[in-house]
Structure 1
Amino acid sequence: MKLPGWQALRRGWLLYHLAEPHFAFMYDDPPDQEWVALDCETTGLDVRRDQIISIGAVRIVGNRLLTSQRLELLVRPERALKVDSMRVHRLREQDVAQGLDPAPAMRQLLDFIGSRPLVGYYLEFDVAMLNREIWPLLGVRLPQRKIEVSAMYYDFKNRQLPAHQRGGAIDLRFATMMNELALPLREAHDALNDAVMAGLAFLKLRRLLAGA
C-alpha cells in the first residue's frame, strides 16, 4: 500500500535516524489481526533510575492468545537488586545474574514484536522503561501502536453506567478487572504471567466492546 506523502516522509525520516537498518521492519504495516501482549518486571518504579530485570511477551492472532509463541527473558541489571523489589517479583540476585545484557535482550524483543501493536496493563510504564534501553541502542523509540487494557476496561464499565453517572471513577485494579471479566488470575508480578493475563483481558474486552 502506497503511503500518503506526509506519512512516507515521516517514515523516511524515522528510518534515517534508525541506527540499525535491520529493525526497519518496525515501521512496516502490522500483520492483520495480530498483537503482542507485553509486561516487564523492574528493580523499582523510577523510570530514570530503575532497570528492567525480566520481560514477558506473547503473541495474539485473531481471537487466540498463542502461548506457544511467547518470549521470556531475564535481564541482568547493572546494580544490585533492592530487597523491596525482590519481595514483589521474587527474582533473586543469582536469578538475574544469568540474564542477558540489556542490548541483546532489546534486540530479541524487537525481533519478536515486529511491527505488531503492543497490548498491556499500565503499558506506559513498561514502554518508558524499554525506550530507555532502546533509544541509545537504535536512536528511536518503540513506534508500534500501544493499546492500554485498563482504558478498554474503563470504556466498557463506563458504558454500563446510567448516562448521568458516566465519566466518574472506576476501580481499575488488575485483580478487580480480571474478576469482573471472569478471567483466571495467575500469580502476579511474573512478567510472562502478567502478559498472558493482559492478553486475555484484551481479547475479552475487544469482544465485549464490539458487542456493546
Structure 2
Amino acid sequence: METPSSVRILTVCTGNICRSPVAERILQAGFESVRSGTFRIRSAGTRAMAGAPVQPPSARIIESYGGRPDGFVARQLTLGMLRDTDLVLTMEASHRSDVVRLDPSALKRTFTIREFARMLKLLEQRDSGPAPDAALPAWWKALPARAAAVRHLALVNDAADNDVADPYRRGPEAYQRMEDELAPAVLTILRFARRTAPAGV
C-alpha cells in the first residue's frame, strides 16, 4: 500500500505499451519483495496510446520475471506525474530530453534506465553496508543526486548503449532484443535494492 513516504519511480517510453510497462511491473514485483509498500512504480508514455493494454509479447516478458501484466492501462506523461516522482527512468535518451523539456526541475532525477544501472554499479563500489532501516525511503529519494554525481564515470562510447530498442510493430526478435537490453538494467537495480536494504527487511 502506498504511503506519503513511498519512493515514487516513473518509467517512461513512447507509447507506454511495450518497454516502460515491462520495467514498471518487474520493478514493482521486485521492490515488493525488498520491502512491501515502500516503493510505488508507475509508467507513462511521451506519446502514449492512452487507454491501451500492454502488448502481449511484453506481457509474457513481465510474467517470465515474476510480474503481473493484468490491469495495465497506458497513460500519457504529464507535468503532474513528474512533479509527483522521485526518480524517472526512461527507455531512451530522447525520452529523457522530453521529460526535461516538460519539467526542467526533473533534470537531476531523470536517467535512462541502462545509464542508471551503470551508476548503481559504481555506487556499489563506493558504498558499504545497508541503508538505515527507518530512513530507507529518504535514502532512496536521495539516490538520484548521488547517482548524478557519478554520471561522468558511467559514460559509454556508443550513445545507443543508453537506449532500449523499441519493439513496437516488430517481430519476436525485436522483443527479444528489448528484453536483452532492458532486463539486465532492471535486475541490476533490484540487486542494488536488495543489497542496500536494512537487515531483516
TM-score normalised according to structure 1 size: 0.34
**Larger strand percent:** 1
TM-score normalised according to structure 2 size: 0.35
